[in-house]
Chain A
Amino acid sequence: MALTVPAPAKWRFRWRFRQQSVIPGFGVTFGVTVFYLGLVILVPLAGLGLRTASLGWQDFLKLAADARILSAIRTSFWTAFAAACVNAVFGLVLAWVLVRYRFLGRRVIDAMVDLPFALPTAVAGVALTAIYAPNGWVGHLLQQIGLRIAYTPAGIVIALIFVGLPFVVRTVQPVMEELSRETEEASATLGASRLQTLRRVVLPSLTPAILTGFALAFGRGVGEYGSVIFIAGNIPYVSEIAPLLIVMRLEEYNYPAATAIGTIMLLLSFLVLLTINLIQAWSRRRYGHVA
Chain B
Amino acid sequence: MSLDASPQWPLSAPTVRFMDPTSESARIKWALITIAVLFASAVLALPLAAVFTEALRHGPTAALAAISDPDALSAIRLTLMVALIAVPLNLVFGVCAAWAIAKFDFAGKAFLITLIDLPFSVSPVIAGLVYILLFGTGSDARAHIGQHRPSDSLCSSGRGVGHRFRHLPLRRTRAHSADAGAGFGR
Q: Spell out A's residues near B (CB within 8 Å).
A: 17-19, 21, 23, 25-26, 28-30, 32-34, 36-37, 40-45, 47-48, 50-51, 90, 93-94, 96-98, 100-101, 103, 105, 109, 112-113, 115-117, 119, 123-124, 126-128, 130-131, 136-138, 161-162, 165, 167, 170, 174, 178, 181, 184-185, 188-189, 194, 197, 215-216, 219-220, 222-226, 242-244, 246-247, 250, 255, 258-259, 262, 265-266, 269-270, 273, 277
Contact check, A47 vs B140: say whether CB atoms are below 8 A apart: yes
Chain B, residue nearest A26 (CB): B104
Report if B48 contacts A (CB, 8 A).
yes
Other CB < 8 Å A-B pairs besides A47-B141, A194-B21, 7 of them?
Answer: A18-B107, A40-B164, A43-B134, A47-B139, A100-B23, A119-B47, A127-B50
Cβ contact within 8 Å between A40 and B130: no
Inter-subunit contact B100/A246 (CB<8 Å):
no
Question: Is A250's CB under 8 angstroms from B54's CB?
Answer: no
10 contacts between A and B (CB under 8 A): A25-B99, A29-B95, A30-B96, A47-B141, A90-B39, A94-B40, A109-B37, A115-B47, A225-B124, A244-B125
**How far is the CB of B176 from the nearest CB of chain A, in Å?**
9
Of B36, B164, B170, chain A has the most CB atoms within 10 Å of the CB of B36
* B21 with A223: CB separation less than 8 A: no
Nearest chain A CB to B156 CB, angstrom units: 16
Chain A CB count within 10 A is highest, among B51, B129, B134, B161, for: B129
- Type the 1/0 row for B92-122, where 1 means its CB is closer than 8 Å to any CB of A: 1101110110011111000010111111111
Number of A-B contacts (CB under 8 A): 226
Contact A101 B33, beta carbon cutoff 8 Å: yes
Q: Is the interface of B mostly helix, strand, loop or mixed?
A: helix
User: Whose C-beta in chain B lies nearest to the C-beta of A27?
Assistant: B100
User: If A29-B99, A119-B51, A185-B22 touch, does A259 touch B39 (CB 8 Å cutoff)?
Assistant: no
Residue in A17, A117, A224, A273 whose CB lies within 8 Å of B170: A117
> Which of B22, B124, B130 is A48 in contact with, Cβ under 8 Å?
B130
Kindly state the interface size class of chain B when it binds its partner.
35 or more
B37 to chain A, nearest CB (A): 7
> Whose C-beta in chain A lies nearest to the C-beta of B132?
A250
Query: B residues within 8 Å of A by Cβ?
Result: 21-25, 29, 32-33, 35-37, 39-40, 43-48, 50-51, 53-54, 89, 92-93, 95-97, 99-100, 103-107, 112, 114-134, 139-141, 161, 164-165, 168, 170, 173, 177, 180-181
Question: Do B22 and A220 touch (CB < 8 A)?
Answer: no
Q: Which residues of A contact B95 (CB under 8 A)?
A: 29
B93 touches A32 (CB 8 A): yes
Kindly report which residue of chain B lies nearest to residue A217, judged by CB atoms.
B120
Once bound together, how far apart are the Cα atoms of A126 and B35, in whole Å? 26
Contact A185 B127 (CB under 8 A): no
Is there contact, CB below 8 Å, between A28 and B96?
Answer: yes
In the complex, are the beta carbons of A45 and B40 less than 8 A apart?
Answer: no
Q: How far is the CA of A117 from the CA of B22 in the complex (A)?
A: 33
- Contact residue among A115, A126, A250 (Cβ-Cβ distance under 8 Å from B129): A250
Q: A43-B134, A223-B121, A247-B125 given as contacts; is B33 within 8 A of A37 (CB)?
A: no
Q: Which residues of A contact B105 (CB under 8 A)?
A: 18-19, 21
Q: How far is the CB of A251 from chain B (nearest CB, A)?
A: 11
Q: Which residues of B contact A222 (CB under 8 A)?
A: 121, 123
A94 and B118 contacting across the interface, CB-CB below 8 Å: no
- The reply to whether A25 and B103 form a contact with Cβ atoms under 8 Å apart is yes
Given A116-B44, A223-B123, do A188 and B36 touch, yes or no (CB 8 Å)?
A: no
A19 B126 Cβ-Cβ under 8 A: no
Beta-carbon contact of B92 and A262 below 8 Å = no
- Given A137, A167, A184, which contacts B22 in the complex, CB threshold below 8 Å? A184
- Check if B37 sits within 8 Å of A105, measured CB to CB: yes
- Closest CB in chain A relative to B117 CB, distance in Å: 8
* Contact residue among B47, B53, B104, B132 (Cβ-Cβ distance under 8 Å from A21): B104
Q: How far is the CB of B33 from chain A (nearest CB, A)?
A: 5
